[in-house]
Amino acid sequence: MTEGPALSERRRDRGRGAGPRGRGTLRRREARAGLTLISPTVAIVVTLVVLPIIWTVALSFQELRLIQLRTAGLLGDYTLSNFSQVLTSPGFWTSLRTTLIYSVLGTASSIGLGLVAALALRRSFRGRTLVRASLLLPYVAPVVAATFVWGVMLNPQFGIVNEVGTNLLGWDEPIAFLSERSNELSLFGLTIPVPTALLTVIVFEMWRSFPFAFLFITARLQAVPGTLEEAARVDGATPTQLFRHITLPQLLPTIAVLSLLRFIWTFNNFDDIYLLTGGGAGTEVISVRVFEYLISRGDIGAASAQALVLATVLLVLVTVYYRFAAKDEVA
Amino acid sequence: MAGMVTLPTDSPAAPPTPAKGPTGGRRWNRNTVEIRVLGVLRWVVIAGLMLFTLFPFYYMVLLSFRDLSSLVQDPGRLLPTLAEFTAETYRNVLASTESGGQGFLRFMANSGLIALGTVVLTLAFAIPGAYAVARLKFPGQRQVSVLFLSVYLFPSILLAVPLFVFFTRVGLRGSLVALLLVYVSQTVAVSIYMLRNYFQTVPASIEEAAAVDGATRLTIMRKVTLPLAMPAILANGLFVLMIAWNEFLFALLFLVENRPRWTVSLGLSQLAGSIEIPTTVLMAGSVILTLPIVVLFFASERLLTGGLTAGAEKG
């Protein structure tokens, strides 16, 4: 960043001195070259990302059904009915709540596990490279294959988890992890209702995304200077004190950025929940509802409105986070 | 990943720091307790993590070589036996539908075609773009960077509705080309972001030297910058390849009605609900879907993780 202006200054001077074949100054030529090189990308992004988003806003104010699509004009009558329909429909607030619980717990657990993994693998040992690469596998594996295997593992009839649970852990009966809304858990004489399916998809999210946090925290840990910890150790700090007062503060900016990124992605996550439960058993998040409105009901207007509501909630939450929680860290 | 080379590898267990206290003896102070406990806990955590991450993959491979009936009879067995080993699942899942299989060979061809096409097109867009963002000054540069960053963070489910509607309306939904373009628009932003970081590390003086020697901008890019940035471009290409191969939502929206055009991901997700197809056959399908990614990943792990965290090192 700092070398930019100085560099172009020098270039311009040179361009003035010897420019028999150049049209205009070097700076102007550079600007032209830059625009030429970037414009194809800008064009495709604008056509396939920006315009569609603007169009979503227009669609959300129209009464448009999938079956009318081929005949209807692109600009119909504008109405607010989609929004009132979406906001007052049964299940909207429940699904907003589910989305929030899913995103907060999914983000927190994946970053927590990623931190634990990064710390455990911090000091080198034989085979660490291989272990490290293996831990990244859930993140790179295709989501469809991962959800399918998890579905079979958790299957009540022949899944390995229930097999182990009933035979070795003494469960009374197999648990339908992905289709059971809630279960009573007896603990010390108390019965606590547990949202089984929701917890399962959160654990899946943790399994799938902790490598991302692990990778970033590991990269940050490698950049932490060893001298500080060395000094603290000489002064008699124990390992937990070292972590609490020396290492963790240096990791906080990274963790803040990670929280933001993971929260955004988890909040919008469609694939995992759709593939695991189809949105059933109390796991219907808003993104699955968007899909349901679009495909099952063929209601384009309501789907757009629902998608916009999702985006708005996310925008508000991210703004609040940015303003209050992480102003210093994220910037 | 350079840290592991510089650290001395002595005993695998946590090397106990010599007791710093004045006593120097074997007293159980907080420090020694913590070092002992954490030294053990560390290995427990590593073992637990390995089990947690790798078990699903092991289970996948294991089941893909079993017969459904044997699985139902003995679901708890976790070690393969030669007696019931079968590769029939793979034959079934790969064979075309006409010969009684599930047609995954065809899905693989579709996935491969789309993934490679996405890589080629994305790089064709992203390399000049990233070069421009990293090296040249042009009006609107800031805005372009902000645009790409927001695309990177933007949820694809929001694009699902308008893109679905648009491509249905122009009659291109169901064509691989439409899907390809959507994938490119989704990956090009992150691709530029990754490549830009690398281009910035190539010293400008090399390019200036070439410019002094009379090379044009295009020659400099082609002959100087690109060869230097090859590792990053390769890593980026692999990253895009994985995204495109793994993608599910848009494949579902665009191709679901047209079975011959299904990708492996879409095929597996669509057949997963069916009762006629044995789970172990579909498990073979999962292995087929996952294996190329795992192989690519292990072959290029260093390249990839370096590129992925390029932006993180600044903290």
Asked, for residue B52, whether it belongs to a domain, the answer is no
CA-CA distance, B272 to B265, in Å (whole number)?
11
Q: What is the mean pLDDT of residues B82-111?
A: 82
Q: Which residue of A has its CA nearest to B253?
A: A295
Q: What is the mean pLDDT of residues B172-178?
A: 85
CA-CA distance, B283 to A152, in Å (whole number)?
9
The single-letter DSSP state of residue A175 is: -
DSSP reduced 3-state for B101? coil
Q: What is the pLDDT of residue A149?
A: 94
The single-letter DSSP state of residue A65 is: B
Q: What is the pLDDT of residue A124?
A: 86
Q: What is the mean pLDDT of residues B277-306?
A: 84
Q: What is the mean pLDDT of residues B190-201?
A: 84
> B165 and A141 in contact by Cβ < 8 A?
no
Distance of residue B85 Cα from the nearest chain A Cα, in angstroms: 18
Q: What is the pLDDT of residue B227?
A: 83
Query: How many residues comprise chain B?
Result: 315
Q: What is the pLDDT of residue A1?
A: 37
pLDDT of B142 over the 80 cut: yes
Tell me, rounded to whole angstroms, the distance of Cα A180 from its chain centroid.
Answer: 25
Residue pLDDT, tens place only, B29-40: 888 888 888 889
Rg value, chain B, Cα: 26
Per-residue pLDDT band at B21 (split at 50, 70, 90)? very low
Asked, for residue B215, whether it belongs to a domain, the answer is yes
- Chosen from B121, B146, B161 to mutate, greatest number of chain A CBs within 10 A: B161
Q: What is the pLDDT of residue B202?
A: 77
Angle at A195 between CA A108 and CA A294, to 5 degrees: 85
Residue B266: CA count within 13 A, CB half-sphere: 27
Per-residue pLDDT band at B223 (split at 50, 70, 90)? confident
Q: Which residue in A31, A33, A239 is closest to B139 by CB distance?
A: A31
Q: Which residue of A has its CA nearest to B212?
A: A14
CATH number of the domain located at residue range(s) A83-330 in this protein? 1.10.3720.10
Query: Domain range holding B162?
Result: 106-271
DSSP reduced 3-state for A177? coil
- Chosen from B11, B79, B122, B136 to mutate, greatest number of chain A CBs within 10 A: B136
Report residues of chain A scoring pLDDT below 70: 1-24, 69-76, 186-189, 325-331
Contacts of B297 in chain A (CB under 8 A): 133, 136-137, 140
CATH number, position B116: 1.10.3720.10
User: Which tokens sit at A217?
Assistant: 């925290």
CA-CA distance, B183 to B114, in Å (whole number)?
9
Contacts of B3 in chain A (CB under 8 A): 124, 222
ipTM above 0.90, yes or no: no
Asked, for residue B162, whether it belongs to a domain, the answer is yes
Per-residue pLDDT band at B306 (split at 50, 70, 90)? low
Question: What is the maximum span of chain B, computed from C-alpha positions, in angstroms?
Answer: 82
- From the CB of residue B48, how many other CB atoms can be counted at a distance below 10 Å? 13
Q: What is the mean pLDDT of residues B223-234?
A: 83
Residue pLDDT, tens place only, A108-147: 999 999 999 999 999 888 888 889 989 999 999 999 999 9
Q: What is the pLDDT of residue B10?
A: 39
Distance of residue B229 Cα from the nearest chain A Cα, in angstroms: 17
Contacts of B192 in chain A (CB under 8 A): 41
Domain borders along chain A are 3-9+24-82, 83-330
Q: How many domains does chain B have?
A: 1
Contacts of A257 in chain B (CB under 8 A): 312
